[in-house]
Amino acid sequence: MNTSPVPVAPSAGPLRPLGIDAVTIDGGFWADRQRLNAEAIIPHALKWETRVGWIPNFGYALDGTIAEHRHGREFSDSDVYKLIEAMSWEAGRTGDPGLEAEIERLGAMVEAVQREDGYVSTKFDNPGQDTRYSDFEWGHELYCFGHLIQAAVARIRTGHPDSAIVRVGLRAADHVLREFGDGAREAVCGHPEIEVALAELSRATGDARYVEQARLFVDRRGHGLLPDIEWGRSYYQDDEPYRSSTVLRGHAVRALYLTAAAVDIAVEQGDAELLDVARRQYDAALARRTYLTGGMGSHHQDEAFGEDFELPPDRSYCETCAGVGSIMVAWRLLLATGDLSYGDVIERTLYNIVAASPAEDGQAFFYANLLHRRTPAAAAPADEQVPRANSSLRAPWFEVSCCPTNVSRTLASLGGYLAAGTDDGVALVLYAPATLTVGDVRLRVETGYPYDGEVKVHVEQAPAPFALDLRIPAWAEGAAVDGSAASPGAFRVEGVAEGDVVVVNLPVGPRITRPDARIDAVRGTVAVERGPLVLCVESVDLPEGMSVNDLEVYPERGVAADGRGAVIQGRRLDRGDSGWAYGSPHEAPRGDLAIPLVPYHSWGNRGPVTMRVWLPVAD
């Protein structure tokens, strides 16, 4: 088994990922969030999954009373598995013995419920429940197996191949091969996930049957195996064959998980055509269907992508899980192609979606990530589970709580995304204070990024000179490496030796960003960014009684840094009520004022507010 502790482990490609044991994030923005994950988010998720019954469901299944006592949606098992995965990466990172014991307790609980043939579910096929595989479009059985298998992979890769959850995951995977292999049941799950899990299991075990099964599932889509629904078969990517598709569409998380799997399959089977298809779809979505924050999904009703340039800020869905899915795709494409520019979207999405979801205390989360909050948001009760996405502010738990555990597993494994090995050296993808070991090379990165643009790469050990590739973000016009101009893309420093210090300077001052004119919903507005951070205005920083809906800005006057945010000049408008919203405007400017902007990821932590990212420009 492959026990290198990496989230993604391709067997081929120009870049080789580093294990979480080879990277230590030593401080700063991401170390704070890894600490929050360990101390607050993981315990919070364990508490809530126990409280609302998702973990106890397995006990009810074991004693035969699940039909009367089951709690949660049809896919609640998957969130237990994601929690185990998050714990596995965290224990692999820190060696926490308490987490190790909890992982084994939960794994033994699941193992006790698993059938001899490998099937396991608290929703189907138990006394008093519907039979297994009676609802492929909504049942989520294979989706749940996917997250189970990913938990098993995390446990294998962190050095515990004999763990209970590994035994369960392997038996479940073999069950899937028997039930859905070539010549067996011709079916797909309404929610892709099993595909990416099987591909990664193939890498972890060296068993090519698993990735071949993943390919079968991908190639079966688009042939009408799932019924038509009100949102169309595009909702679950069954409207056209994957290899014929040109852009991501339908339910955003489903589309992204499927595309991550397509990249994995393409790499493992040497399928250049499939890799090109996946890259084409994702690149098109980045160019025309992605929000400034990196968020994906502009439809609330079906959690789906809109049409090209359909990106309304006040109706943005931008599910946190879609952000995680986008990072999954971008990282795989970066490793498969060697194109460091995919690190730009990884960075953007990490800082503005993943980091935005948890509250500062790790006890509440955003499910959806609006870019404009028109009315003051009401705080969700701290002790109540709320409907998904219906909480105005972050909520402690949702009836569909896929996002907290997705954030948790991402933060726990984040060290694996900072850098990669190349044929002749090291590629730095994300900048954070960290110590990295790549073969015989050891680097120490010193930086205050994202608030300070200076990054010093200290070469503490290098038996021989090597090449250092540095990602220069697309926004970083005027960047420099060791005093030489560095254009956006990849900058290579040759002949780096032990004792060298390579200095990167990135212009992280605030800048004005203008939208593509085809995004009708934000025409006539600007946004402000600072390095990788999107900024926003919150009403708590405005004069008393003023809403973010009552301002205009003067971008021509520039924008100035202020703390970790910025200040832009603008004015407040008094809006009269004429009884008719059209015709001559009934607005009277009340004088100029400085409008403070804060990092978008921090919004909503200071009570009920209105908020916006895109700011109307004064005439």
Alpha-carbon gap, residue 300 to 306, rounded angstroms: 10
60 part of a folded domain: yes
Are the C-beta atoms of 603 and 356 separated by less than 8 Å? Answer: yes
Enter the DSSP assignment of 338: -
Strand partners, 469: 427, 492
CA distance readout (Å), 313 to 92, 230, 285, 292: 39, 25, 17, 10
The average confidence (pLDDT) of the chain is 96
CA torsion angle 195 367 135 141 (round to 10): 50
Q: Check whether residue 339 and residue 272 sit in a common domain.
A: yes
Report the amino acid identity of residue 21. D
Least confident of 2-6, 365-369, 603-607: 2-6
Q: Check whether residue 385 and residue 470 sit in a common domain.
A: no
pLDDT tens-place string over residues 485-509: 999 999 999 999 999 999 999 999 9
9 part of a folded domain: no
CA 171-173-179 angle, to 5 degrees, is: 100
**Tokens encoding 509:** 């001052």
pLDDT at 240 over 80: yes
Domain count, the chain: 3
pLDDT tens-place string over residues 177-202: 999 999 999 999 999 999 999 999 99
- Please identify, among 376, 399, 417, the residue that sits at the C-terminal boundary of a domain: 417
Task: Catalogue the E-assigned strands of 350-453.
Answer: 372-373, 385-386, 397-398, 419-422, 425-428, 434-438, 441-447
Q: Check whether residue 496 and residue 580 sit in a common domain.
A: no
Give residue 580's pLDDT.
80
- Please identify, among 388, 417, 446, the residue that sits at the C-terminal boundary of a domain: 417
Give residue 587's pLDDT.
65
Give residue 389's pLDDT.
66
Alpha-carbon gap, residue 421 to 14, rounded angstroms: 9
pLDDT tens-place string over residues 73-101: 999 999 999 999 999 999 999 999 999 99
Does residue 390 or residue 89 have the better pLDDT? 89
Instruction: Tell me the pLDDT band of 578, cut-offs 50, 70 and 90.
Output: confident
380 part of a folded domain: yes
Mean pLDDT to the nearest integer, 258-262: 98
Give residue 1's pLDDT.
62
Q: Which domain holds residue 323?
A: 16-417
- Please identify, among 368, 391, 417, the residue that sits at the C-terminal boundary of a domain: 417
Give residue 376's pLDDT.
87
Cis preceding-peptide flag for 381 (omega within 30 of 0) = no
CA distance readout (Å), 554 to 64, 134, 284, 615: 66, 59, 32, 10
Give residue 378's pLDDT.
78
Alpha-carbon gap, residue 401 to 108, rounded angstroms: 23
Alpha helices in 481-530 (DSSP H): none
pLDDT at 256 over 60: yes
Assign 3-state DSSP to the chain and report helix, strand, coil percentages, each to 5. Answer: 40, 20, 40
Are the C-beta atoms of 473 and 488 separated by less than 8 Å? Answer: yes
Alpha-carbon gap, residue 14 to 7, rounded angstroms: 17
CA 444-450-451 angle, to 5 degrees, is: 115
Report the amino acid identity of residue 436. L
Alpha-carbon gap, residue 203 to 187, rounded angstroms: 24
Give residue 331's pLDDT.
98
Q: Residue 410's domain is classified under what CATH number?
A: 1.50.10
Which residue from 155, 19, 136, 175 is spatially nearest to 81, judged by alpha carbons?
155
326 part of a folded domain: yes
Which residue has 């609006």 as its token pair? 370
Q: Check whether residue 434 and residue 358 sit in a common domain.
A: no
Give residue 147's pLDDT.
98
pLDDT tens-place string over residues 16-37: 999 999 999 999 999 999 999 9
Mean pLDDT to the nearest integer, 305-315: 97
pTM: 0.97
pLDDT tens-place string over residues 445-455: 999 999 999 99
Are the C-beta atoms of 511 and 528 separated by less than 8 Å? Answer: yes
Give residue 575's pLDDT.
73
Are the C-beta atoms of 98 and 420 separated by less than 8 Å? Answer: no
Instruction: Tell me the pLDDT band of 590, cut-offs 50, 70 and 90.
Output: confident
Angle, helices 402-412 vs 42-51, to 10°: value is 150
Q: Check whether residue 357 and residue 475 sit in a common domain.
A: no
Q: Going by C-beta distance under 8 Å and a sequence separation of 6 or more, which residues neighbour residue 47? A: none
Mean pLDDT to the nearest integer, 113-136: 98
Least confident of 134-138, 393-397, 493-497: 393-397
CA distance readout (Å), 566 to 250, 551, 563, 571: 36, 16, 7, 16
Does residue 246 or residue 582 have the better pLDDT? 246
- In a 10 Å sphere around its CB, with 0-12 CB exposed, 13-18 middle and 19+ buried, how is residue 495 labelled? exposed
Alpha helices in 458-541 (DSSP H): none
Percent pLDDT > 70 in the chain is 98
pLDDT at 2 over 80: no
CA 564-569-574 angle, to 5 degrees, is: 120
Alpha-carbon gap, residue 65 to 67, rounded angstroms: 6
Mean pLDDT to the nearest integer, 271-285: 98
Which residue from 117, 114, 109, 125 is spatially nearest to 50, judged by alpha carbons?
109
**Three-state SS string across 382-399, please?**
CCCEECCCCCCCCECEEC
Give residue 6's pLDDT.
94
Alpha-carbon gap, residue 360 to 603, rounded angstroms: 10
Q: Check whether residue 301 and residue 390 sit in a common domain.
A: yes
Instruction: Tell me the pLDDT band of 299, cut-offs 50, 70 and 90.
Output: very high
Report the amino acid identity of residue 251. H
Mean pLDDT to the nearest integer, 456-474: 98
Q: Check whether residue 541 and residue 595 sit in a common domain.
A: yes
497 part of a folded domain: yes
336 part of a folded domain: yes
Alpha-carbon gap, residue 323 to 342, rounded angstroms: 14
pLDDT at 284 over 90: yes
| Residues found in the chain | 619
**Tokens encoding 267:** 């790499």
pLDDT tens-place string over residues 537-563: 999 999 998 999 999 999 999 999 999
pLDDT tens-place string over residues 504-524: 999 999 999 999 999 999 999
37 part of a folded domain: yes
pLDDT at 129 over 90: yes
Give residue 391's pLDDT.
55
Mean pLDDT to the nearest integer, 211-227: 97
Give residue 585's pLDDT.
60
Q: Check whether residue 379 and residue 293 sit in a common domain.
A: yes
pLDDT at 310 over 80: yes
pLDDT at 388 over 80: no
Give residue 12's pLDDT.
96
Give residue 579's pLDDT.
77
Alpha helices in 361-451 (DSSP H): 402-412
Strand partners, 512: 528
Does residue 179 or residue 391 have the better pLDDT? 179
Q: Check whether residue 74 and residue 213 sit in a common domain.
A: yes
Strand partners, 16: 421
Q: Check whether residue 423 and residue 360 sit in a common domain.
A: no
Angle, helices 28-36 vs 402-412, to 10°: value is 130
551 part of a folded domain: yes
Alpha helices in 413-524 (DSSP H): none
The DSSP annotation for 54-120 comes to TTHHHHHHHHT-HHHH--S-TTHHHHHHHHHHHHHHHHHHH--HHHHHHHHHHHHHHHHH--TTS--
Are the C-beta atoms of 173 and 149 separated by less than 8 Å? Answer: yes
Q: Check whether residue 47 and residue 115 sit in a common domain.
A: yes
Percent pLDDT > 90 in the chain is 93
Alpha-carbon gap, residue 186 to 195, rounded angstroms: 15
Q: Check whether residue 470 and residue 412 sit in a common domain.
A: no
Q: Going by C-beta distance under 8 Å and a sequence separation of 6 or more, which residues neighbour residue 210? A: 173, 177, 198, 199, 201, 202
pLDDT tens-place string over residues 323-346: 999 999 999 999 999 999 999 999
